[in-house]
Amino acid sequence: MTLKTIVLTCLAMTAFAANSIFCRFALGNGAMDAGTFTLIRLVSGAIILGILAGRHAFRPRIKTSSPWAMPLMLALYALFFSYAYVNLGAGTGALILFGAVQATMVIAGVLDGERPGPVRILGMVLALLGLVYLVFPGLSAPSPLGALLMTLAGICWGIYSLLGKQTRDPVAATAYNFIWAVPLVIAPIFLISDFSLPLYFGGAGFWAAILSGSLASGVGYVIWYAAIKKLTPSRAANVQLTVPVIATMGGIFFLSEPFSLRLFLASAAILSGVSLALLPSKKEKF
């Protein structure tokens, strides 16, 4: 893995963590409902990326026979993500999200012929055990509905990330995905949510959604696309498990969220597992 790939990956992980913080900020204090946040996030991402990509946003170079798959996965991820954060803290939600991402991408890698060695397998198992410990029923276990929705969001994001390896132009492809994800979420939002954009226009939640869509999502996803081309599926999956730790720290410092012993132990196990899973094999140069 080159220094450029490492830097791009770190920037992308920070952007992903910022998404959790922005979303939890908007929803946790009642500054906005989940449906409105989702729509503003996608629209703002589509606008900023459309400006960057220009006419290429409508004709991206994607090596796939199903160009609709990525906008669909993005739309589903965004919906599940927002509604899950109604009942989850920033760090807890990120742990569940990227635990599901890891499982999805590792399984895809194995099916594609990737064979991680014993040390990487140990790392993956340790990271997943940390996630299981976090969501295991108990006094401090997260909301079951929130955990389920965030798991579904993680599966969709994992598929979206894998499809992203096929893109030749990250900016145009991401713009295309955001533009077409917008009409896909409108009907579900109006059916299941109390959509009230005029009420929230200009408020703190509104600007959190704007920042989430334009910077943390739009620009962050472009950076991730550039990085993921140099990562194997298992490494791409495992490195994303650093996001919950960043999101947890952000939740504590910016949202005054509590840091429980369960969350600490789960984070420690996940980070240790990620470190093992990212170790290069004897045939590789890190």
**Stretch (H or E) spanning 42:** helix 34-53
Instruction: Output the DSSP codes for 58-76.
Output: GS--B--S-TTHHHHHHHH
- In our burial notation (b when 16+ CB lie closer than 10 A, e otherwise), range 170-189 reads bbbbbbbbbbbbbebbeeeb
- In our burial notation (b when 16+ CB lie closer than 10 A, e otherwise), range 43-56 reads bbbbbbbbebbeeb
Block means of pLDDT (10 residues each) for the chain, length 286 residues? 83 91 83 86 93 78 71 95 88 82 79 74 79 64 86 92 78 89 90 65 84 91 82 73 80 80 80 70 50
Phi, psi of 167 (to 5 degrees): -85, 140
Cβ count within 10 A of residue 67: 15
233 token code pair: 């599926």
Domain ranges of the chain: 3-277
217 token code pair: 């999502």
Q: 63-103 pLDDT, tens per residue?
A: 656 778 899 999 999 999 999 998 888 878 887 887 788 77
Q: 225-253 pLDDT, tens per residue?
A: 888 877 776 677 667 777 877 887 888 88
Q: Give the predicted TM-score (pTM) of the model.
A: 0.81
108 token code pair: 């895809």
Task: Report the half-sphere exposure of 67 (CA within 13 A, side-chain side).
Answer: 17
Helix axis angle, 170-192 to 220-228, nearest 10°: 130
